[in-house]
């Protein structure tokens, strides 16, 4: 029985490898000279490989997980791992000098681990202690480290040089990965991976529908999302407000020249992130040091 | 009995409120109120519609076209997404680009909307001066065990009321995200190529493989 599984597994791996090679040869054909993505050829190849693995294994398993398990169980699993993650979210908030947030994360951990039944329930959110999203990559970003080139890792997916270094620390300190009975740890890691993918099923379907080119869409979403996270949701604007380009209702043509003129002047490519001079920090938050970085 | 009457009265008052808001619409409704009214109306309809809940995508699209679409400025959205290539386009190309982009956005928006499941909305107070003509309206959606998702609508005042020209979901701007793909497409296939690409995308159910 076990032998059969293994051989079929090996065959699966063979398919995946073949697919990877195919993807590689196809992927290397395209590069668009985007300054944020100098390894586009390689990245596209890995992206293609990841798509194949996802379609073949992770997505079907996650779909089954979502369909079979009651919603309540899924929420429990999500909360359980989210609670463990709060520990290093707190640490990272502290490293970024956000003492209040760090304290709030610490409170969350205490509340959810105790009355939340080892983290299965998220009572902290109910009483108004909001969950945060932090990691070492964001901490480095906050300290002023730029993105560096975009990188797609096999299985792990989208990243940048800065975030990759961050992720190695995330992994190094991950309480789940450092759990000792190895079989328990592996089961937990697998469960977490499947649960996370299951949570992204809707998003990935929407991506599929929205994107003209899935690779660029995913890359640009990732870069924008990380930027937003580093600034805790208030990054400097990437391009000017419509109104700075004049009224759109009348005199369309006059407006356009202005609108684009601004972008074209700085970046020869229409697509590079066109960072505006930092508008007044929009929601009353101060714009951190990193605002000038990364571009 | 008393409870029932009270509830009925409250409902009546709420309904009247919505009616007044809709009637007064256009010029005078502040952008944050507009977003709130439209959002609540749409999710209320979704909550009551059995067809939509059982996955009738067509009906969601119709709902979005009727309720949401009038509050967007698609020309501005397309202009910002097409960026430098906009001025190189003819009037006819601009019209086609806008039309195709609109269809794609409505589809995507509808698809996102149909994943809605009783999340709690938190309409953030508007941080803007009364004289501002370009503002960002924030809505946050709370979820258990995860950080809230923020929706941000960049809106501009026009004679016909406030119109959105970009939406940011969790910090990801739709307009900015389409910029690269549009520019790449134009570089390889020209503006007409981009129009064709969009039209093709809009025709098919979902394009599976990447074109490149």
pLDDT mean across residues, chain A: 78
pLDDT band at A100 (very low <50, low <70, confident <90, very high): very high
Q: Percentage of residues in chain A with pLDDT exceeding 70?
A: 70
Residues in chain A: 295
Contacts of B121 (CB under 8 A, 6+ apart): B39, B40, B43, B139, B140, B141
Q: Most distant CA pair in chain B: distance in Å?
A: 70
CA B21 to the chain's CA centroid: 19
Q: Residue B199 and residue A124: Cα distance in Å, rounded? A: 47
pLDDT score recorded for residue A206: 85
Q: How many Å lie between the alpha carbon of A77 and the closest alpha carbon of chain B?
A: 10
The model's pLDDT over B80-112, given as tens digits with 9 standing for 90+, comes to 999 999 999 999 999 999 999 999 999 888 888
Out of B86, B111, B142, name the one closest to residue A209 (CB): B111
Residues in chain B: 212
pLDDT score recorded for residue A89: 97
pLDDT score recorded for residue A16: 52
From the CB of residue B16, how many other CB atoms can be counted at a distance below 10 Å?
Answer: 10
Residue in chain B nearest A271 by alpha carbon:
B180
pLDDT score recorded for residue A75: 92
Chain A hits for B142, Cβ within 8 Å = 125
Q: How many Å lie between the alpha carbon of B149 and the closest alpha carbon of chain A?
A: 10
From the CB of residue A247, how many other CB atoms can be counted at a distance below 10 Å?
Answer: 17
Chain B hits for A32, Cβ within 8 Å = 180, 184, 187
The model's pLDDT over B26-46, given as tens digits with 9 standing for 90+, comes to 567 899 999 999 999 998 898
pLDDT score recorded for residue B56: 84
Q: Percentage of residues in chain B with pLDDT exceeding 70?
A: 83
pLDDT score recorded for residue B135: 93
B208 touches chain A (CB under 8 A): yes
Phi, then psi, of A222 in degrees rounded to 5: -60, -50
Nearest alpha carbon to residue A93 among B158, B147, B23: B147
Nearest alpha carbon to residue B155 among B48, B94, B68, B82: B68
- Whether the Cβ atoms of residue A112 and residue A86 lie closer than 8 Å to each other: yes
B residues 139-158 lying closer than 8 A (beta carbon) to A: 142, 144-148, 150, 154, 156-158
Q: Which residue has the higher pLDDT, B23 or A60?
A: A60
CA A57 to the chain's CA centroid: 20
The model's pLDDT over A145-179, given as tens digits with 9 standing for 90+, comes to 999 999 999 999 999 999 999 999 999 999 998 88
Cβ distance B156 to A248 less than 8 Å, yes or no, reads yes
Most confident residue range from A182-191, B4-13, B125-134, B196-205: A182-191
Cβ distance A260 to B212 less than 8 Å, yes or no, reads no
pLDDT score recorded for residue B14: 53
B172 touches chain A (CB under 8 A): yes
pLDDT score recorded for residue A281: 38
pLDDT score recorded for residue A93: 97
The model's pLDDT over A113-150, given as tens digits with 9 standing for 90+, comes to 999 999 999 999 989 899 999 999 999 999 999 999 99
Please determine, for residue B5, whether its predicted confidence score (pLDDT) is greater than 60: no
Cβ distance B108 to A48 less than 8 Å, yes or no, reads no
Please determine, for residue B212, whether its predicted confidence score (pLDDT) is greater than 60: no
Q: Which long-range contacts (CB under 8 A, 24 or more apart) does A112-120 make?
A: A112/A79, A112/A83, A112/A86, A113/A83, A116/A79, A116/A83, A118/A80, A118/A83, A119/A79, A119/A80, A119/A81, A119/A82, A119/A83, A119/A84, A120/A76, A120/A79, A120/A80
Cβ distance A209 to B133 less than 8 Å, yes or no, reads no
**Least reliable range by pLDDT among A9-18, A46-55, A82-91, A192-201:** A9-18
Q: Which residue has the higher pLDDT, B8 or A145?
A: A145
Please determine, for residue B3, whether its predicted confidence score (pLDDT) is greater than 90: no
Q: Which residue has the higher pLDDT, B47 or B162?
A: B162
Out of A130, A202, A233, name the one closest to residue B115 (CB): A202
Nearest alpha carbon to residue A88 among A40, A38, A134: A134
Out of B83, B134, B180, name the one closest to residue A242 (CB): B134
Q: Residue B154 and residue B176: Cα distance in Å, rounded? A: 12
pLDDT score recorded for residue B12: 55
Q: Residue B100 and residue A184: Cα distance in Å, rounded? A: 51
Out of B127, B168, B179, name the one closest to residue A283 (CB): B127
Average pLDDT value for residue range A281-289: 38
Please determine, for residue A1, whether its predicted confidence score (pLDDT) is greater than 50: no
Q: Which residue has the higher pLDDT, B6 or A161?
A: A161
pLDDT score recorded for residue A31: 64
Please determine, for residue B152, whether its predicted confidence score (pLDDT) is greater than 90: yes
The model's pLDDT over A228-280, given as tens digits with 9 standing for 90+, comes to 999 998 887 766 665 555 444 333 333 333 333 333 333 333 343 433 333 33
pLDDT band at B209 (very low <50, low <70, confident <90, very high): very low
């Amino acid at each position: 029985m076990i032998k059969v599984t293994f051989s079929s597994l090996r065959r699966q791996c063979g398919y995946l490898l073949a697919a990877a090679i195919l993807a590689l040869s196809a992927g290397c054909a395209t590069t668009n000279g985007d300054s944020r993505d100098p390894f586009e050829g390689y990245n596209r190849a890995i992206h293609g490989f990841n798509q194949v693995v996802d379609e073949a294994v992770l997505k079907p398993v996650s779909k089954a997980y979502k369909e079979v398990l009651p919603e309540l169980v899924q929420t429990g699993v999500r909360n359980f791992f989210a609670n463990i993650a709060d520990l290093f979210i707190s640490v990272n908030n502290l490293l970024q000098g956000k003492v209040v947030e760090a304290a709030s994360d610490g409170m969350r951990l205490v509340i959810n681990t105790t009355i939340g039944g080892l983290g299965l329930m998220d009572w902290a959110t109910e009483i108004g202690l909001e969950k945060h999203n932090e990691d070492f990559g964001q901490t480095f970003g906050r300290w002023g480290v730029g993105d560096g080139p975009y990188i797609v890792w096999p299985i792990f997916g989208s990243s940048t040089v800065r975030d990759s270094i961050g992720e190695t620390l995330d992994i190094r300190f991950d309480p789940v990965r450092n759990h000792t009975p190895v079989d328990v740890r592996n089961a937990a890691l697998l469960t977490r991976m499947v649960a996370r993918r299951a949570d992204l099923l809707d998003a990935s379907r929407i991506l599929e529908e929205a994107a003209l080119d899935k690779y660029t869409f995913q890359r640009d979403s990732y870069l924008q999302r990380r930027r937003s996270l580093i600034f805790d949701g208030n990054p400097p604007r990437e391009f000017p407000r419509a109104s700075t380009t004049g009224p759109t209702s009348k005199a369309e043509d006059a407006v356009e020249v202005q609108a684009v003129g601004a972008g074209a002047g700085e970046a020869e490519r229409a697509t590079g992130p066109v960072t505006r001079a930092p508008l007044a920090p929009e929601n009353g938050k101060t714009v951190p040091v990193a605002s000038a970085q990364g571009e | 009995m008393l409870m029932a009457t009270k509830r009925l009265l409250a409902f009546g008052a709420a309904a009247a409120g919505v009616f007044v808001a809709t009637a007064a619409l256009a010029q005078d409704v502040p952008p944050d109120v507009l977003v709130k009214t439209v959002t609540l109306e749409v999710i209320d309809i979704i909550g009551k519609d059995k067809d939509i809940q059982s996955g009738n995508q067509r009906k969601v699209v119709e709902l979005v076209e009727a309720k949401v679409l009038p509050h967007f400025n698609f020309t501005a959205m397309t202009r910002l997404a097409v960026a430098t290539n906009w001025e190189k386009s003819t009037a006819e190309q601009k019209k086609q680009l806008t039309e195709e982009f609109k269809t794609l956005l409505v589809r995507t928006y509808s698809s996102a909307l149909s994943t809605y499941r009783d999340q709690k909305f938190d309409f953030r107070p508007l941080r803007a001066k009364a004289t501002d003509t370009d503002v960002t309206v924030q809505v946050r959606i709370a979820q258990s065990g995860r950080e809230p998702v923020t929706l941000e609508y960049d809106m501009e005042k026009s004679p016909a009321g406030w119109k959105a020209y970009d939406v940011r979901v969790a910090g990801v701007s739709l307009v900015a995200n389409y910029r690269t793909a549009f520019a790449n497409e134009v570089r390889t296939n020209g503006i007409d190529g981009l129009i064709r690409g969009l039209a093709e995308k809009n025709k098919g159910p979902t394009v599976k493989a990447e074109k490149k």
